[in-house]
């Protein structure tokens, strides 16, 4: 359950909010929208702060603070994860709710973006205390969430068990069984096939599409994956299964590189639940060195701010697909773009998770469930289509794929707000 990469993500949030606003402004200007539309979309419409009590195992009652941010619901209900982390803060959930709006717009699912969080450290809490926090948080935000209002999901340090407690609590409050209240549930409670690998599958589809654009054959293509956690490990496996040669991987402690290709199955077997595996090797290199190694495709799947103004010139790959949130700074994006490197941005590449969450919600609403194969097929259709729209927008507006993704992602929300007469 514990997701080490996300610790860094909270630090990234300090300027995440502002840099998101900068690109949203640029995207709306490219689309010809007046400033009033930017004023509407530059921050969430609603952010709720809650303080709620939880009885701890030692008998004392402790107060916890949580947030739920809802960016804009012009298109449809709000959707976005809930993180449990000691560094959760209001600015972070606000920025992440805006990213969720962009992702939903890019993959064309009828949601606005949301994000929630509770300031706590699940690594220091018992199972029962975690249940208390999960239920307490849902009670505290219950008035603004619901299957047709705002649908939460797992995020940093939260998992399907936590979703199960949350849906149970919501069902009690609402006095009806409401599986569509939350996604990322266990399969027996209405969860969807393919949810756990959805992000890595989505990234893999983007790699395939990017390779086609560059006339690159994935068989034998040399791939470096930074990070070997949930996203990075599945990705390495999927790349390997496609016939690519994974020449480098890393974790928080270092990296390994072998131009003849790494034994991915062995690494998967040996990695621990935190995505650590390089400690088993002697000839490791640093993460910085790994990023500059020779390869065809680079997939940052660890933490933010890895490719910066400093090392963008050293990147050897001709394709970069961002599985992590914010691995490339805006300055580095410009340098890579000038160098002719095709960069598939995070808001597109990592949208597989929210796409399958949407499928889970649809299945809950229908009361009819799709097979793993059906989910995989629908995910592929959505992501291939999203990639095409973003790629075409980048050609049409003569901008890099990141700005193009923002243009595609924000357009529908701006249009819906216009039709509703909000701006
Ligand atoms: P994880 O915690 O499971 O794994 C993170 C990996 O990165 C681990 O191998 C860890 O050792 C490594 N790492 C940590 N700090 C590092 C550092 N400073 N340098 C290099 N490596 C480091 O996390 P995850 O779920 O795989 O997420 C990875 C990235 O993908 C994050 O940016 C996350 O936001 C993004 N993402 C993940 C999902 C998902 O479904 N898992 C969805 C969307 C986006």
**Per-residue confidence (pLDDT) for residue 72, from 0 to 100:** 98
Protein residue whose Cα sits closest to atom 22 of ligand 1:
252
Alpha helix locations (H) across 142-255?
160-174, 198-213, 230-241
Give, as one character, the DSSP assignment of residue 112: E
Q: Would you state the pLDDT for residue 17?
A: 86
Which residue's C-alpha comes closest to atom 31 of ligand 1?
324
Nearest-atom number in ligand 1 for the CA of 251 is 11
Residues 99-123: pLDDT tens digits? 999 999 999 999 999 999 999 999 8
Pocket of ligand 1 (CB under 6 A): 3-5, 8-9, 199, 226-232, 250-252, 275-276, 287, 301-303, 323-325, 350, 353
349, 374, 405 - which closes a domain: 349
Token pair of 3, please?
């997701």
Domain identity same for 258 and 112: no
Q: Which residue out of 25, 79, 103, 115 is catalytically annotated?
A: 115
CA of 236 to the centre of ligand 1 (A): 13
How far apart are the C-alpha atoms of 382 and 203, rounded to whole Å? 12
Domain span at residue 158 reads: 4-179
Listed as ranges, residues in the chain with pLDDT below 50 are 1-14
Ligand 1 center to 179 CA (angstroms): 28
Expressed in angstroms and rounded, the spacing between residue 222 Cα and the centre of ligand 1 is 21
Between the CA of 247 and the centroid of ligand 1 the distance, in Å, is 19
Domain end (from 308, 324, 349): 349
| Same-domain status, 124 and 245 | no
Nearest ligand 1 atom to the CA of 8 is 15
The DSSP result for 226-274, as a single string, is E--SHHHHHHHHHHHHTT-EEEEEEETTEEEE-TT---HHHHHHH--TT
Minimum CA distance residue for ligand 1 atom 43: 350
Please report the beta strands in 56-110, taking only residues with DSSP state E, as ranges in sequence order: 61-70, 78-84
Q: Classify residue 372: in a domain, yes or no.
A: no
Tell me: do 28 and 171 sit in the same domain: yes
| Same domain assignment for residues 158 and 235 | no
Atom 20, ligand 1: residue with shortest CA distance: 252
3-state DSSP percent of the chain in helix, strand and coil, to 5: 50, 15, 35
Q: Which of 273, 302, 322 best tests ligand 1's pocket when mutated (most atoms within 8 Å of CB)? A: 302
pLDDT at 2: 35
The two tokens of residue 85 are: 């982390």
Whether residue 363 is contained in a domain is answered as no
Residue-level pLDDT at 92: 87
Q: State in Å: Cα 200 to ligand 1 middle.
A: 11
Asked if residue 237 belongs to a domain, the reply is yes
CATH of the domain at 264: 3.40.50.720
**172 with 209, same domain?**
no
CATH number at 139 reads: 3.40.50.10860
Q: Is 115 a catalytic residue?
A: yes
Q: Specify the 3-state DSSP secondary structure of 71.
A: coil
Is 399 part of any domain?
no
How far apart (Å, rounded) are the C-alpha atoms in residues 69 and 147?
16
Token pair for residue 176?
A: 């009806």
Nearest CA to ligand 1 atom 25: 230
pTM: 0.92
Listed as own residue / partner, the contacts of 56-62 with beta carbons closer than 8 Å and 24 or more positions apart are 56/129, 56/132, 57/126, 57/128, 57/129
**Residue 185 included in any domain:** no
Domain for residue 109, yes or no? yes
The count of structural domains within the chain is 2
Q: Tokens representing 14?
A: 């300090």
pLDDT value of position 304: 84
Question: Chain-centre distance of CA 108, in angstroms?
Answer: 16
Which of 81, 85, 225, 229 maximizes ligand 1 atoms within 8 Å of its Cβ, making it the mutation to test the pocket?
229
Atom 4 in ligand 1: residue holding the nearest Cα: 229
Please tell me the distance between residue 323's alpha carbon and the centre of ligand 1 in angstroms. 9
Considering the domain architecture, whether residues 213 and 154 belong to the same structural domain is answered as: no
DSSP string, 308-353: -TTTGGG---SEEE--SSS-B-HHHHHHHHHTT-EEE-HHHHTTHH
Residue 216 belongs to a domain = yes
For residue 4, the model assigns a pLDDT of 40
């Amino acid at each position: 359950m514990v997701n080490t990469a996300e610790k860094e993500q909270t630090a990234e949030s300090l300027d995440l909010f502002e840099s998101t606003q900068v690109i949203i402004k640029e995207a709306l200007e490219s689309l010809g929208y007046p400033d009033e539309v930017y004023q509407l979309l530059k921050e969430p419409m609603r952010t709720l702060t809650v303080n709620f009590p939880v009885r701890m195992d030692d008998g004392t009652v402790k107060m916890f603070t949580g947030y739920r941010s809802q960016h804009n619901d012009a298109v449809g209900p709000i959707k976005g994860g809930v993180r449990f982390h000691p560094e959760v803060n209001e600015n972070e959930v606000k920025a992440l709710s805006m990213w969720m709006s962009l992702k939903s717009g890019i993959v064309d699912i009828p949601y606005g973006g949301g994000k929630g969080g509770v300031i706590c450290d699940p690594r220091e809490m018992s199972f029962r205390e975690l249940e208390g926090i999960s239920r307490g948080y849902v009670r505290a935000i219950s008035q603004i969430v619901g299957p047709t209002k705002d649908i939460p999901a797992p995020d940093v340090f939260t998992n399907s068990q936590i979703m199960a407690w949350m849906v149970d609590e919501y069902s009690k409050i609402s006095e009806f069984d409401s599986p569509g209240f939350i996604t990322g549930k266990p399969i027996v409670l209405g969860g969807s096939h393919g949810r756990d690998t959805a992000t890595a599958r989505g990234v893999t589809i983007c790699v395939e599409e990017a390779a086609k654009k560059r006339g690159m054959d994935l068989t034998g293509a040399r791939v470096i994956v930074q990070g070997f956690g949930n996203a990075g490990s599945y990705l390495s496996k999927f790349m390997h299964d496609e016939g690519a040669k994974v020449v480098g991987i890393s974790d928080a402690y270092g990296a390994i590189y072998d131009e003849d290709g790494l034994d991915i199955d062995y690494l998967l077997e040996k990695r621990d639940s935190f995505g650590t595996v390089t400690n088993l090797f002697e000839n490791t290199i640093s993460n910085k060195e790994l990023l500059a190694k020779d390869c065809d495709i680079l997939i940052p799947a660890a933490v933010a701010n890895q490719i910066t103004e400093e090392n963008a010139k050293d990147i050897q790959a001709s394709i970069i697909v961002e599985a992590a949130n914010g691995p490339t700074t805006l300055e580095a994006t410009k340098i890579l773009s000038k160098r002719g490197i095709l960069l598939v941005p995070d808001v597109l590449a990592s949208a597989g998770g929210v796409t399958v969450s949407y499928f889970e919600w649809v299945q809950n609403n229908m009361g009819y469930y799709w097979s793993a194969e059906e989910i995989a097929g629908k995910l592929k259709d959505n992501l291939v289509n999203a990639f095409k729209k973003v790629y075409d927008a980048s050609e049409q507006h003569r901008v890099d794929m990141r700005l193009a993704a923002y243009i595609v992602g924000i357009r529908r929300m701006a249009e819906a707000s216009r039709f509703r007469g909000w701006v």
